[in-house]
Amino acid sequence: MSIQPGDTIPDTAVQCIDGDIQPAQTAALFAGRKVLLFGVPGAFTPTCSNRHLPGYSAHFAEFRQRGIDVMCLAVNDGYVMQAWAASQQVPAGLLMLADGNASFTRALGLELDGSAFGMGLRTRRFALYAEDGVARLVQVEAPGELRVSSAEAMLVAVDSLG
C-alpha cells in the first residue's frame, strides 16, 4: 500500500544532490520543515525532462515563498541525477534525491515496474506534501498522465490545505 496522508515519511538512505552528491537519510531531510516531494520515472525521460521537472524549476520561488522546500525523487544513481540537474539548470536549493536501489520508493509504496519498457523498477509519477516528516497530501498520477502532480496543481492543492 502506498503512503497516505497522516503517515510518517519512511527513513531510508538516499543520495542528495544540490550541486554535490551527499549521502542522506530521508527522516532528516523531512524533519522540521515543509517539503514538496515529487517523483518521476526517470531522469532524462521525455515527460520528466520536458514538463515535470521544468515546472518545479519554474515555480520553485513560489514554493519557497510559502516556506516549502522542493525535492525531486527518481530511481537513478547520484551521478545521473547530478547530470540531469545540471542539464536542466535546476535552481540551487531544489534537491534531487537519487534512490538508486529504490529503497525509498519501495518504502513509500510508489514503485512502478517499467520492465516492459526496459526500465526495470522505477518511481511512479507522484507528488506529496509533508510537514515535519508527516505526509499531508499525496497525489499519484494515472499511467501516462501529468496532471495532479504538476507544480501548478500542487501549488493549488497546498494552498487549499489552509
In-domain check, residue 56: yes
Which residue would you say has higher pLDDT here, 51 or 36? 36
Residue 91 lies in a domain: yes
Least confident of 17-21, 29-33, 64-68: 17-21
Q: Which of 9, 29, 43, 48 is catalytic?
A: 48
Give the model's pLDDT for residue 45. 85
Domain contains 8: no
Which residues, 6 or more positions from 15, have their beta carbon under 8 angstroms from its beta carbon? 21, 22, 23, 24, 77, 78, 81, 97, 98, 100
**At CB < 8 A and 24+ separation, what contacts does 152-156 make?**
152/55, 152/59, 153/127, 154/36, 154/38, 154/127, 154/129, 155/59, 155/62, 155/63
Higher pLDDT, 130 or 19: 130
What pLDDT digit, counting tens, does each position of 132-158 carry? 999 999 999 998 899 999 999 999 999
Enclosing H/E stretch for 123 = strand 121-123
pLDDT score of 46 more than 90:
no
* Residue owning grid cell 522540521: 32
Q: What is the CB-side half-sphere exposure of residue 155 using CA atoms within 13 A? A: 15
Q: Strand (E) positions, 19-104? A: 20-25, 34-39, 68-74, 95-98
What would the pLDDT profile of 47-106 be if each residue is shown by its tens digit? Answer: 888 889 999 999 999 999 999 999 999 999 999 999 999 999 999 999 999 999 999 999
Q: Which residues constitute the domain of residue 88?
A: 13-160
72 catalytic? Reply is: no
For residue 123, tell me if it sits in a domain. Answer: yes
pLDDT at 115: 76
The 10s digit of each residue's pLDDT in 97-138 is 999 999 999 999 999 887 777 777 789 999 999 999 999 999
pLDDT at position 84 = 96
**Is 4 inside a domain boundary?**
no
Provide the b/e sequence for 59-75 (b: ≥16 CB within 10 Å): bbeebeeeebbbbbbbb
- Structural domains of the chain, count: 1
At 24, list the grid cell. Answer: 542522506
The three-state secondary structure class of 48 is helix
| 122 falls within a domain | yes
Q: What is the CATH number of the domain that holds 33?
A: 3.40.30.10
